[in-house]
Amino acid sequence: MRTLPRHFFVTGTDTGVGKTTVTVRLMQQLVAQGLTVIGMKPVASGCEWLAGRWQNDDVRQLTAASNVSAPPELINPYCFEPAIAPHIAAAQAGIEIELDVIQTAYAQLAAMADVVIVEGAGGLLVPLNSRQQTIADLIQALNLPALVVVGMRLGCINHALLTAEALRQRDINCCGWVANSMDPQMSHPQENLQTLIAGLQQPPLLELPFQEPLT
Ligand SMILES: Nc1ncnc2c1ncn2[C@@H]1O[C@H](COP(=O)(O)OP(=O)(O)OP(=O)(O)O)[C@@H](O)[C@H]1O
Ligand SMILES: C[C@H](N)[C@H](N)CCCCCC(=O)O
Ligand SMILES: [Mg+2]
């Protein structure tokens, strides 16, 4: 695998394309290399009340993969119960998501570990608040390069190229992309992969095969 930057942001072509799965996999590899690693999920929607606090499955997975313990409010400053677009969940809860709150939490985490990997919510242009700030604005506020997870399924070429174009327009450095095989029945996977390599102008950092769910 090519070298990754110390800290980076994981975005993707959509919600449910494997951002958490890929982030956990990368965290495990970095931990195995002897680095201290923290996973951050600044904005989570879809939480359950468990053991006296709101808990989100992505936050649980990233926390489990971290080898440095950090306060939950730094790992996940914003958590909303319904599994819906975060700006809608936040408005329902009467909360405005503030990028500077996330910046402050991130800076504290970055001081605690060699590597901090920050997972977005949904894709790059998902809105975060009433001021129309988006995940892309958050990446810029954190001054991080972006890793793009492409969920390999029909439609991903368009989504991947739009994501790459939106990153370029904002001068956000794309530090790589991951081809995540979500659909074992996908037709012409190799042709799709080659189209993505040509369009994104770089081979994937990682090709993650489809993994049968554990029964
Ligand atoms: N390579 C794979 N093989 C099989 N299943 C996968 C693979 N990658 C992801 N999945 C499954 O797809 C689902 C969505 O993956 P994941 O939660 O990582 O997506 P996400 O992009 O983080 O979603 P969100 O936008 O909700 O954060 C999960 O059930 C996960 O286990
Ligand atoms: C609930 C879900 N798993 C994510 N946390 C949020 C996805 C927001 C997607 C918004 C959109 O692009 O329409
Ligand atoms: Mg996720």
**Whether residue 121 has its Cβ less than 6 Å from ligand 2:** yes
Q: Whose CA is nearest to atom 14 of ligand 1?
A: 16
Count the helix, strand and coil residues of the chain and give each as a percent rounded to the nearest 5. 35, 25, 40
**66, 30 contact by CB (below 8 A):** no
- Cα 13 to middle of ligand 2, angstroms: 11
Q: Is residue 126 a known part of a binding site? A: no
**Whether residue 15 has its Cβ less than 6 Å from ligand 2:** yes
Q: What is the pLDDT of residue 3?
A: 79
Measure the CA angle with vertex 211, ends 206 and 213; round to 5°.
145
* All residues at 6 or more sequence positions from 57 whose CB lies less than 8 Å from its CB, including other chains: 20, 46
**Whether residue 18 has its Cβ less than 6 Å from ligand 1:** yes
Residue 73 pLDDT greater than 90, yes or no: yes
**7, 117 contact by CB (below 8 A):** yes
Tens of pLDDT, residues 125-176: 999 999 999 999 999 999 999 999 999 999 999 999 999 999 999 999 999 9
Q: What CATH number does the domain located at 12-208 have?
A: 3.40.50.300
- CB-count burial class (<10 Å; 0-12, 13-18, 19+) for 169: exposed
Residue 2 pLDDT greater than 80, yes or no: no
Q: Is residue 133 a known part of a binding site? A: no
- ipTM, two decimals: 0.99
* All residues at 6 or more sequence positions from 214 whose CB lies less than 8 Å from its CB, including other chains: none
**Longest Cα separation, the chain:** 49
Ligand 2 atom nearest residue 15's Cα = 7
